[in-house]
Chains A and B, each alone.
Chain A
Amino acid sequence: MTHVVGRDHGLELLRQMLRIRRFEEKCAELYSGGKIRGFLHLYIGEEAVAVGAIPCFTSEDAIVGTYREHGHAIIRGTPMGPLMAELYGKANGCARGRGGSMHFFDAARRFYGGLAIVGGGLPVAVGLALADHMQQRRRVTACIFGDGAVAEGEFHESLNLAALWKLPVLFLCENNLYAMGTALGRHQSQTDIARKADAYAIPAEAVNGMDVLAVESATRKAVDFVRAGHGPYLLEYRTYRFRAHSMYDAELYRTKDEVAQWKQRDPIALFQQQLRDEGFFTDADLDNMETAIATEIAEAVSCAEMGPWEPLEDLTKDVYTPAKPAG
């Protein structure tokens, strides 16, 4: 394990991972209570990835996420209130309640989804990077996708184009070893995802995605590389989802044992222990942290509860951009 750089930073990383974990535990509860509907994909187990990676990008950079993006949006800085309201489908949600769990958007934070077609975000990320390149902006686009997306043609097309045109995009693969119920070895002929980047002359690295510090240092280096104008880079975060794929999944495709084994590597528990070992962390710290997070989540829930439904008159609003008034 990498050494923690300092107490404050260590506590902050832990706090951010806990924010995602507790938020999503609340989501699962609200789903059972019928407050949240539709598809709900939880990130529990993978928190070290978002927490280590996303703060490496500046507010000018762009993020393109997946449908398992609650953690991405939380760490990007969208307040929990609009996120929870979005999960409720309320008009004060971060996408007016129109997208729900899979479609968080936040223009002010350059967060471009929340996209739910596997692989569909990669070309868009390449285009965002193209726009930066053509306008000579030193920005980086973070393109997040799962191991399942690697089997899509858009993955290969996008890596090729980004490398060919030397675009400032950082490909971030969250390899949690499953695409729904299909294990990596059952959907990839070459299971070493980082090696695929080689075929497109893109430098790549596989990282322990259960270690927030490892994620952070690898991502920081990769962002620097891309920002310096050397073209794209690919990181493969090796991680694991502790929960079902979505709320409808009976998990027939993996054993309880396997899940239990991976839970031994819980990124939050491990990091907490590490902080304790380094003398940075006490039970009192944890209590304070948990209390503050519980308050934040309670406020988010009441923001969602009190939020208005979008009026029916607005059903077709924003299908097109309204015409500018003449003159």
Chain B
Amino acid sequence: MAKITYREAVRAGLREALQNNPRVFLMGEDVGKYGGTYACSKGLLDEFGPERIRDTPLSESTFVGAGIGAALGGMRPIVEVMTVNFSLLALDQIVNNAATIRHMSGGQFSIPLIVRMATGAGRQVAAQHSHSLEGWYAHIPGITVLAPATVTDARGMLLAALQEPDPVFIFEHAYLYPLEGELDESGLPVDLTLAAIRRAGTDISLITFGGSLWKALEAADQLAHEGISAEVVDLRILRPLDISTVLTSVRKTHRAVVIDEGWRTGSFAAEVSAQIMEGAFYDLDGPVGRVCSVEVPIPYPKHLEDAALPQPEKILQAVHSLMGR
């Protein structure tokens, strides 16, 4: 096991992808000379050259659409959209083309495209740079939605995504890039059908993904001191959702709190909660709890931003109220 930052893990995945397959190329805003907004592609331009590391103009719709076209034309594009906030300018290509063309053409075309983007709040960059919209993307059939939270997944999910014949969207929480973790070097590929149990427990299931995983783990530590054994489930893959791992956990613990940085109304947490209700209603000892973002454009000052987002304390509160403590 080696210690490595999340951004280094992404970069390692990109390098391997580029080394292993000559059809792989990376394009996006400032991925080349600048080295990537989050430095994920630093050094790759020198190593792989400008044909394969392509700086694009600020044309989100067109370079995502060009990724679709290039994939249709036999390439294996990895498109970096600087952040999820700017991906809104590419929604037409994503929703109307990437997700539909295969089915709408009667299965004549596959689009083996990867789109990566940073997501999430917590860095005091205010409302227009703090969206967490991966739950929206998970609404769309025809695409796969990944949210790696660990360094191993940051590298491994990218490599696994390259085996997928259809469009894959990878959401990297911007808060995670500088964080260090242990890279699992076993070489085992990441299974893109399975959620992961990050901490085993017996009293309550904390179900989450992406940047919120670390908050859930912190809350679980705290709960352990109180004598509450929390199981932490990292969904990792929002579509297709591995609900069976979730249900297995809930059937064991009989209680669940879902933590999601998206806004509460219509959140991905709402979907998970509904599926728990459908699949494990009679195993529950109480209603499924949710810790989501407050329904407000994320503000700039730290105290307000902190108050708007899920925090370990809010998770503790939700657990306490569920357990009647």
Chain B nearest Cβ from A140, distance in angstroms: 12
- In the complex, A300 Cα to B77 Cα: how many Å? 39
- In the complex, A117 Cα to B61 Cα: how many Å? 13
Kindly list chain B residues whose C-beta atoms are within 8 Å of the C-beta of A128. Answer: 69-70, 72-73
Q: Is the CB of B69 within 8 A of A129?
A: yes
Chain A interfacial residues counted at CB < 8 A: 46
Q: Is the CB of A112 within 8 A of B102?
A: no
Which of A93, A122, A316 is the one whose CB lies under 8 Å from B65?
Answer: A122
Chain A 128-142 interface mask (CB, 8 Å, partner B; 1/0): 111110110000010
Known: A126-B69, A127-B69, A127-B72. A318 touches B61 (CB 8 A): no
Q: Does A144 contact B (CB under 8 A)?
A: no
Q: Which of B80-125 contact A (CB under 8 A)?
A: 92-93, 96-97, 101-110
Q: Does A213 contact B (CB under 8 A)?
A: no
Kindly list chain B residues whose C-beta atoms are within 8 Å of the C-beta of A62. Answer: 73
Q: Which of A70-118 contact B (CB under 8 A)?
A: 93-99, 103, 105-107, 112-115, 117
Chain A nearest Cβ from B99, distance in angstroms: 9
Q: Is the CB of A117 within 8 A of B92?
A: yes
- In the complex, A132 Cα to B96 Cα: how many Å? 23
Q: Does A320 contact B (CB under 8 A)?
A: yes
Q: Does B213 contact A (CB under 8 A)?
A: no
Q: Is the CB of B106 within 8 A of A115?
A: no
Q: Is the CB of A123 within 8 A of B110?
A: no
Q: Does A183 contact B (CB under 8 A)?
A: no
Q: Which of B125-184 contact A (CB under 8 A)?
A: 141-142, 144, 165-166
Interface-facing stretch out of B51-59, B254-262, B293-301, B308-316: B51-59
Which of B61, B73, B104, B142 is the one whose CB lies under 8 Å from A103?
Answer: B104
Q: Is the CB of A161 within 8 A of B57?
A: yes
Q: Is the CB of B106 within 8 A of A154?
A: no
Q: Is the CB of B57 within 8 A of A127?
A: no
- In the complex, A154 Cα to B57 Cα: how many Å? 13
Known: A123-B93, A161-B62. A95 touches B75 (CB 8 A): no
| Residue among A94, A99, A131, A154 facing the most chain B CB atoms (10 A cut-off) | A131
Q: Is the CB of A123 within 8 A of B66?
A: yes
Q: Is the CB of A158 within 8 A of B62?
A: yes
- In the complex, A98 Cα to B72 Cα: how many Å? 20
A-B CB contacts (within 8 Å), total count: 147
Q: Is the CB of B108 within 8 A of A319?
A: no
Chain B interfacial residues counted at CB < 8 A: 41
Which of B25, B57, B141 is the one whose CB lies under 8 Å from A160?
Answer: B57
Kindly list chain B residues whose C-beta atoms are within 8 Å of the C-beta of A94. Answer: 106
Q: Does B63 contact A (CB under 8 A)?
A: yes
Q: Is the CB of A321 within 8 A of B165?
A: yes
| Residue among B63, B92, B107, B165 facing the most chain A CB atoms (10 A cut-off) | B107
Residue of B nearest to A143 (CB): B69
Kindly list chain A residues whose C-beta atoms are within 8 Å of the C-beta of B74. Answer: 131, 135
Which of B62, B73, B77, B101 is the one whose CB lies under 8 Å from A122?
Answer: B62
Q: Does A125 contact B (CB under 8 A)?
A: yes
- In the complex, A322 Cα to B6 Cα: how many Å? 32
Q: Is the CB of A319 within 8 A of B102?
A: yes
- In the complex, A112 Cα to B62 Cα: how many Å? 17
| Residue among A96, A125, A129, A157 facing the most chain B CB atoms (10 A cut-off) | A157
Q: Is the CB of B69 within 8 A of A125?
A: yes
Kindly list chain A residues whose C-beta atoms are within 8 Å of the C-beta of B59. Answer: 157-158, 160-161
Chain A nearest Cβ from B20, distance in angstroms: 17
- In the complex, A165 Cα to B144 Cα: how many Å? 30
Kindly list chain B residues whose C-beta atoms are within 8 Å of the C-beta of A320. Answer: 102, 142, 144, 165-166
Chain B nearest Cβ from A163, distance in angstroms: 11
Q: Is the CB of B107 within 8 A of A120?
A: no
Q: Does A153 contact B (CB under 8 A)?
A: yes
- In the complex, A165 Cα to B56 Cα: how many Å? 10
Chain B nearest Cβ from A324, distance in angstroms: 9
Residue of B nearest to A107 (CB): B108
Chain A nearest Cβ from B101, distance in angstroms: 7
Chain A 201-220 interface mask (CB, 8 Å, partner B; 1/0): 00000000000000000000
Kindly list chain A residues whose C-beta atoms are within 8 Å of the C-beta of B56. Answer: 161
Residues of B within 8 A of A (CB): 25, 51, 54, 56-57, 59, 61-75, 77, 92-93, 96-97, 101-110, 141-142, 144, 165-166
- Could you give 24 example pairs across A and B, Cβ below 8 Å? A62-B73, A93-B106, A95-B106, A98-B104, A98-B106, A105-B106, A105-B108, A105-B109, A115-B97, A120-B93, A122-B65, A123-B68, A123-B93, A124-B93, A126-B65, A127-B67, A130-B70, A131-B73, A131-B75, A154-B65, A157-B57, A158-B65, A161-B56, A164-B57
Given contacts A115-B97, A320-B102, A321-B165, 15 further A-B contacts (CB under 8 A): A98-B104, A117-B96, A117-B97, A120-B65, A120-B92, A123-B62, A124-B66, A124-B72, A129-B69, A131-B72, A135-B73, A160-B62, A161-B57, A320-B165, A321-B110
Residues of A within 8 A of B (CB): 62, 93-99, 103, 105-107, 112-115, 117, 120, 122-132, 134-135, 141, 153-154, 157-158, 160-161, 164-165, 316-321
8 residue pairs, one from A and one from B, having the closest CB atoms? A127-B69, A123-B65, A131-B73, A96-B106, A318-B107, A127-B66, A157-B62, A157-B59
